[in-house]
Homo-oligomer: A and B are copies of this chain.
Amino acid sequence: MKISFIGAGRVATHLAHALYAQGFEIVQVYSRNLFHAQVLARTVHATSIDTLADIVATDLMVIAVSDQAIESVITQLATLVDDHTLIVHTSGSTAMQILTKHHLRAGVFYPLQTFSLEREVNWSNTPFLLEAQYDADLLRLNEMARTLSQQIYHYNSEQRLSLHLAAVFANNFSNYCFDIAKQTVERNAVDFNLLTALMKETAEKACQFDPKVVQTGPAMRQDQNTLDAHQSLLQQQQAEDHLAVYRLLSEHIKKRHQVK
């Protein structure tokens, strides 16, 4: 199966590397920024292009660009390729229909993972969410995903959106809480590394049990003394934004764990 990548960012880079390592042939890498295309293309022995009109026919085109750019890319691609080519996007929050309304042979190949260029991806732990207009294409995507992970799911676009939204809470917002924690201790010259075991344990525990059941802390205990002591310290630190987060989340946790 010959594959081209539209996009050369984090998702495109990690996916192209992984598929190349599994023996898939990567033909072209497109980016608006030719240098970015070259950086990725070189590592997977592909050619780089910065003009979509230069794209050649392949079995599969993977659109891994920012969500806002997907529609403009598919609009152009649809005029350049025929039904020989399956086109997928890799977006959790974008419906498949944004592709099918321009090019019927379409699908979604969404790896649910947080990608950064600094860290290796653990593919075997990464769930893949697949969707395709045609059953035969779903099977093809399934086979391709299977070379990277055993966790393959067929969910529709709305289910995928709800998972993508949930991932914002599970990943982006929990990471932002870690970020606030770091700023909080550093304002008192305390080492952030003291919190790392706790952070890992929190994630482990929430995975092993229901996070509602393992909730702890002053808000959950309705411990107003400690809630007040924390808010005084945040006021003293002049951390207005962090105080607002503290208040809102504490109110919600109190409400969720109220004894009825």
Residues of A within 8 A of B (CB): 66-68, 93, 112-116, 118-119, 122, 125-127, 151, 153, 155, 158-159, 161-182, 184-185, 187-191, 194-212, 214-221, 223, 225-226, 229-230, 233-234, 237, 241-242, 244-246, 248-249, 252-253, 255-256
> Which residues of chain B are within 8 angstroms of A158 by Cβ–Cβ distance?
188, 233
Instruction: Determine whether the beta carbon of B249 is less than 8 Å from that of A176.
Output: yes
Q: A200-B203, A201-B122 are in contact. Are A178 and B188 (CB under 8 A)?
A: no
Instruction: Determine whether the beta carbon of A93 is less than 8 Å from that of B182.
Output: no
Of all A-B residue pairs in the complex, the 8 with the closest CB atoms, nearest first, are: A172-B217, A162-B188, A174-B174, A170-B181, A203-B203, A125-B197, A196-B207, A178-B211
> Which residues of chain B are within 8 angstroms of A203 by Cβ–Cβ distance?
174, 178, 199-200, 202-203
Q: Is the interface of A mostly helix, strand, loop or mixed?
A: helix
Query: Which of A114, A153, A176 has the most chain B CB atoms closer than 10 A to its own CB?
Result: A176
Q: Which of B119, B159, B245 contacts A205 (CB 8 A)?
A: B119
Alpha-carbon separation in the docked complex, A24 to B163 (Å): 49
Q: A172-B219, A210-B182, A256-B179 are in contact. Are A248 and B246 (CB under 8 A)?
A: no
